[in-house]
Structures are given as C-alpha cells and as structure tokens.
A and B are shown apart, each in its own frame.
Chain A
Amino acid sequence: MMDHGLLLLWQDYNLTARTLEHLAIFSVALLLSIAIGFAVGVLIFRKKKYSGIFFAILNTVETFPDIALLVILIPFLGVGAVPTVTACVLYSILPIARNTCTGLSGVSETHIRAARSIGLTDREVLLHIRIPLALPMLAGGVRIAVVFIMGIVTLGGLVGAGGLGVPLMTGIFNNIPALILVSGTWVGLLAVLFDGIVASIEKSLNQRYGIW
C-alpha cells in the first residue's frame, strides 16, 4: 500500500524526469566549474603578483548568500538554467582555484630540481610534475564544489530551472507533506551519494600521488 502510494506520487510529480533534469544541470555546472576553476588556479599560480586581489574578489563572492547571488543574475541572464549554472560556477571557482593553486605551489623543491636537472622545461615541469602531484588537492576542491553545486541546482527550482527543487517547492506551497518527505530525502541521498563518490576518488588519488 505504502509502496503503491510512493510509486503514484513519484509518477504524478514526474520525479524521474525531474531527477534527470537535476543531474543534467548538475553535470554541466560541475564540468564548467572544474574547467574554469582549474584555469583560474593555474593562472593565479603563474601570476602570483595578482593572487591577493583575485582571492579577495573570490572570497567576497563566496560570502554572498547563494539564493541572493542566483536572483541578482536574473535581470542580466533571465530565468531558468542559465543563471543557475552561472551561480554554480561563480561559487565553485574559489574552492577549485584555491586548492589548485595551493596544490601546485606545495610540490616540494626536491621534485622540481630533480625534474629540471633531467632537462624538463617549465612547461613540462608544470604538466608532468606539478599537476599530477597536485591532483589530490584538486580533488579536495572539487569535492567542496560538488556540495555547493548540488545545493544551488536545488535552488534553481525556484527560478525556473527545473530539477528536484520543483517538487520541493510544490510540496511546500501546496502543503503536501508526502511529496516534501520523498523529494527531500531523495535530494539528500543524491547529495550524500555524489559527495561519497568524489570522496573515494579523492582518497584513491591521495594514495597514488599524495604528498599532503
């Protein structure tokens, strides 16, 4: 009986489609965040002079309430998935870039000297020595970003991006406790699951390359 009710609720509110929508926005946001965050991290690492100002700006963005950041993008980007993904990226640049930069700078001088003495160029040192050794740190940054992005994609339901925020909202506004409990538990489980997956990737990278 209970299972039957759950199934009906699941179908009535299209939770399969909502989940797919949610994961689609999540993946796009995560990939973009990793690409941009990593690029910014490498850039800051190479131009240490500007790192102070970069981090000051990124830290300030980080203090913005996520929902406020999301809605101030609406006048510029309209509603839907675009402001949601943008807010995810703005929020995730800091943890990924900071960890990339710390990871790249933290590689021990011994490794670098050894690499140079066998004739590696600056570029090769970065690509073949620093980046592999910084991978565990980078994964740590991505893990923080995964949690942020999951939260903001859920908020995206409030600004017309679809996803699992929509059934949560419907449940709150129409007072349907069962819907709230089911979709809330489901979002929570998904978030914990993804966090767990990234945590295990982080762990295996640490065993392979860990210097921390």
Chain B
Amino acid sequence: MVAIETVITASLQHVTLSYTALLIAVVLSVPLAVLSLSSKRLASVVMTGANLAQAVPSLAIVAFVVPLIGIGFYPALIVLILRALLPVVKNTWIGLSTVDPGIINAAAGIGLTEREITWKIRFPLAYPAFFAGLRFAAILTNSVAVLTAIIGSGGLGNLIFEGLAGTNTQTLLAGALPAIMIAVLVDTGLAGLEKRMVYQEV
C-alpha cells in the first residue's frame, strides 16, 4: 500500500515541474513567434526545427540531457521547456501569419501601427491556433515529466518506475492514475479557458 501523503507529494512535484516548464515555454514562445513574423528566415528555422524535434522520441531527448547537462530537477525542467516550446511557437506563428490580409489592410487603413496590428488584431485572431499548441504542449509536458523521473526529477514518475522495478502493481498505479487524472483535468481546464477567450463567430 502506498501512503496517500506520498502520492500527494509526488503529484505536487509533478504539477510544479510540468507546468512551470509550460509557463516558461509560453513566455518564451510569444516573442519568438512575433520575431518569426517579421523574419522569414527565422520562421523557416523555427518551423523546420519544430517539425524535426517533434519526430524525435521523448526518451531519446531525456537521455541526451544526461551527458550534456547532468541529472536532477533543473536538467528535467530544461528538457520540458524545450519540448513544450516548439509546438507553442509553431502554432502561434501559424495563427499570427494566417490572419486574413483583408483584415490587416482594414486595420492599417484606419491608421493602426504595425505594433497595434500585431497585438490587437493578429493575436486575438490567433487564439484558436495558439490554444491548440498550448493544449498539445500541456499534454506533452505532463507525459515527459513522468519520464524525467529516470533522470532524477522526482514526481509521479518515481512511483511508476519504483513499481516497475519491483513489479509492484499498486505503486505503479499510484503513480500512473494521478498522472492521467492531472492530464485530463488540465486539458479540460484549458478547453474551458479557450472557450471563454476565443472570439465566437455568431
């Protein structure tokens, strides 16, 4: 039997790790997406990088960190940020760059500056694409955060790997089930937020 306190502590560690990483990734991705908007070259580097990196299995990326930056909480955090950054930048950029040119022309016509167009026109219209990226990244950080337990990040992954090593089903499930519940809850929460923020066409 796994003590309930153990599960709660592990869940808190897990949530802290995953969503700190997600938050940092979002904060970094917005300026990157805006910069990509004005530079075609940066945009193509970001897109190609994002597509290639997404194809590489998470376990390979987690393993790579060990010889390069070592083990522990912070190396895990770095992997998670890198993993989450690409889908968010990619989708934000797609959203920002595919706004109907007619709308941009109209905004320029009523005298909005380039800056105002980016923040007041492009961003609100890019929310659906941004949210798609954010939700994908939230799922991704949550699952990679389980995996980073093998490089010493702590959290629910610890229980899972402990259960695996000792063929102890209870410990295994004590790690896996909360991870699944957190994932479903966060995704539902983000879906709700998306519904409130995205402009609804009537």
In the complex, B33 has a CB within 8 A of chain A: no
Contact of B20 with A by CB under 8 A: no
In-complex Cβ contact of B169 among A74, A151, A157 (8 A): A74
- Give CA–CA (A75, B160) in the complex, Å: 13
Chain A neighbourhood of B179, CB < 8 A: 65, 68
Whether B55 contacts A195 by the Cβ 8 Å rule is yes
Task: Determine the residue in chain B with the shortest Cβ distance to A70.
Answer: B176
What chain B residues lie within 8 Å of A75 (beta carbons)?
169, 172-173
The reply to whether the CB of A201 lies closer than 8 angstroms to some CB of chain B is no
Q: Are A191 and B146 in contact (CB under 8 A)?
A: no
Interface residue count on the A side (C-beta < 8 Å): 40
Stretch at the interface among A97-105, A112-120, A165-173, A204-212: A165-173
Establish whether residues A192 and B177, one from each chain, have CB atoms under 8 Å apart when the complex forms. Answer: no
Whether A180 contacts B55 by the Cβ 8 Å rule is no
Residue numbers in A under 8 Å from B108 (CB-CB): none
Which A residues touch B139, using CB under 8 A? 62-63, 65
B160 touches A154 (CB 8 A): no
B57 touches A154 (CB 8 A): yes
A159 interface contact, C-beta 8 A = yes
Kindly list 6 other residue pairs between chains A and B, CB separation below 8 angstroms, not including A67-B160, A169-B150. A64-B184, A65-B146, A75-B173, A168-B60, A172-B66, A188-B60
